[in-house]
Amino acid sequence: MTIRILTLLAVAAAWLFTGCDKSEEEDFVQQFVLEGYLMVGQPMSVHLSHTVPLGQLYDPAQVAVSGADVRIWAGGHEFALPEDTARHGTYSLPADSHIVTTGEDYRIRVDVQGAVLTAATHNAAGSVAIDSCNLPVWRDSTNMDTLEYGDTEFFLHWNLDSRSDGYWIITENLEPDWFEEWREVSGNNGSTGYSFWYWTERGIDEFKVPWIILSYTGRHRVRVVSCDEACYNYAFTSFPGDPENQPQSNVQGGLGVFCAIDVDTAYFYLADNIED
């Protein structure tokens, strides 16, 4: 079963765009961020937030933006997306409404607090499904198999779809205390100090997770994103953590990305391989 979860993509958008104003804090100008990830096979849903000054604590609940008028055009029809009362800043259509379809074109307009954000994406990406992996249990986030650091690299294989513009592979440590010293693996002398990494690739159907990025033990999630052109260009030009980061965006009037993609997910648990 394909697992499509938007949380990590929202985190990525926040990391790439929030607090990345390179001017001094007193010159900070707030901008709106469109986290416009439409998911193939699901109803349309987007999230709206705003930037914060560099150095200010980022709180997802505080930066979410309500009260926007969000409209999307697809297949010759206009759709008004109401705000989800259970998810502040998220604008969605019900499950029995329009389903995002591979090859479809989408256009969005957001009117919020006197600002207007517009974007368009063409040829929604093809589907992706991870069909094999070198661990027996790799679909279960609560009962995942253990990978010992430095033993056998974790790899996964998926179907290639000619309608995809490329693939975005995201690796994430899921532990809330991932940064604790006791979680550092003993074999990684080049510890990265991060819990989140990604790559962009074209024309590949297999990926091995490099040992150098696995700095901490615990639960890990790997996501393969089938990208349309807007998503691939955004991911390919992004440099998380860089205060001058300016990824290629297709959003006019604000920041973020508007795209139509598909995602599949695998899991593993990383243990430190310490020789007695």
Dist CA 71 CA 259 (whole Å): 15
Q: What is the CATH number of domain 130-226+265-271?
A: 2.60.40
Determine the pLDDT at residue 6: 43
Dist CA 219 CA 216 (whole Å): 9
DSSP 127: P
Determine the pLDDT at residue 19: 41
Nearest to 17 by CA among 194, 261, 259, 247: 247
Number of Cβ within a 10 Å radius of residue 164: 25
For residue 247, the one-letter residue type is P
Tokens of 130: 């991870």
Tokens of 3: 């697992």
Contact in structure between 155 and 213 (CB atoms under 8 Å): no
Determine the pLDDT at residue 5: 39
**CA neighbours within 13 Å on the CB side: how many for 57?**
3
Dist CA 215 CA 228 (whole Å): 31
Contact in structure between 77 and 98 (CB atoms under 8 Å): yes
Q: Pseudo-torsion of CA 122, 79, 4, 84, nearest 10°?
A: 140
How far is the CA of 198 from the CAs of 56, 178, 193, 223, 232, in angstroms? 25, 17, 14, 9, 12
Determine the pLDDT at residue 254: 96
- What confidence tens digit (pLDDT) does each residue in 207-229 have? 999 998 898 999 999 999 999 99
Stretches in the chain below the pLDDT threshold 50: 1-8, 10-11, 13-24, 276
For residue 244, the one-letter residue type is E
Nearest to 62 by CA among 19, 26, 24, 23: 19
Domain with CATH 2.60.40 in the chain: 7-125+246-262, 130-226+265-271
Determine the pLDDT at residue 195: 86
How far is the CA of 251 from the CAs of 125, 127, 231, in angstroms? 18, 24, 11
7-125+246-262 topology per CATH: Immunoglobulin-like (2.60.40)
pTM: 0.86
Determine the pLDDT at residue 273: 76
Radius of gyration of the chain (CA): 19
Determine the pLDDT at residue 20: 45
